[in-house]
Amino acid sequence: MSIETQIAENYQRILDRAASAARRGQRSPDDLRVVAVTKYVSAEWTQLLAEAGCQDMGESRPQQLWDKSQRLAHWPDLRWHMIGHLQRNKVDRTLLCGSKIHSVDSPRLMHAIEAAACKLHLAPVSALLEINISGEIQKHGLQPKELPAVIDLLTEMHHVAIGGLMGMASPVDDERELRAQFRSLRDLRDKYHSTMPPGHALRELSMGMSGDFELAIEEGATLVRVGSALFEGCQEQ
């Protein structure tokens, strides 16, 4: 099978699995978007995904996001998602790529995005607050107990528009544990959504990856970030 066909089939299979998971969770598949994580592959393979109909591309390293978004600039209507840790000195270029930032993991980064979007005269930058739901200390993300104080800061933020929460579950196989972590993110959203100042909201939940995206959808994910499963069966480049 050609790489084109393989990638198109993989993408379609992920969409089908995502839609089934949404139905199992009594949710509409329309409330859900699959972000294709392209960090493992070249711009050429990323374009094959675009040809297969995917419009949402995610990268975890700023430099790769800049490069790929530039190389695919001719492709209409692609949306870029920054899903990994973003250093403050890389904020300007990342915002200029028009990316949504899933990984706002500190007040300092949030202030840096606010300042950069103001300076660059951008429309409010859509972003998510990353929460450490696994409890692993080496992982990025705000602690759940920091969330109220961060929400208070948002009254001063007019160039960044927080739209929800992002989280990464522990790399475990235990379905109960994974569900508990996803549910903890949903519970935070439900607890704090009514406290959001104007211009901000807690609506989206970015959670779930190749190994656990169906569970995440059943537990309420609105954005899943799927990488390796899209490239199964594609030979190494």
Ligand X SMILES: *Cc1c(COP(=O)(O)O)cnc(C)c1O
Binding site for ligand X (CB under 6 A): 37, 39, 60, 83-84, 168, 209-211, 225-229
DSSP string of the chain?
A: --HHHHHHHHHHHHHHHHHHHHHHTT--GGG-EEEEE-TTS-HHHHHHHHHTT--EEEESSHHHHHHHHHHTTTSTT-EEEE-S---GGGHHHHHHTT-EEEEE-SHHHHHHHHHHHHHTTPPPEEEEEEE--S--TTS-SB-GGGHHHHHHHGGG-SSEEEEEEEE---S---HHHHHHHHHHHHHHHHHHGGGPPTT----EEE---TTTHHHHHHTT-SEEEE-GGGGTTPPP-
Residue closest to ligand X, measured at CB: 227
Question: Least distance in Å: CB of 210 to ligand X?
Answer: 3
Closer residue to ligand X (CB): 101 or 117: 101
Question: Least distance in Å: CB of 229 to ligand X?
Answer: 6
Closer residue to ligand X (CB): 27 or 225: 225
Question: Least distance in Å: CB of 230 to ligand X?
Answer: 8
Closer residue to ligand X (CB): 141 or 159: 141
Question: Least distance in Å: CB of 98 to ligand X?
Answer: 19
Closer residue to ligand X (CB): 84 or 144: 84
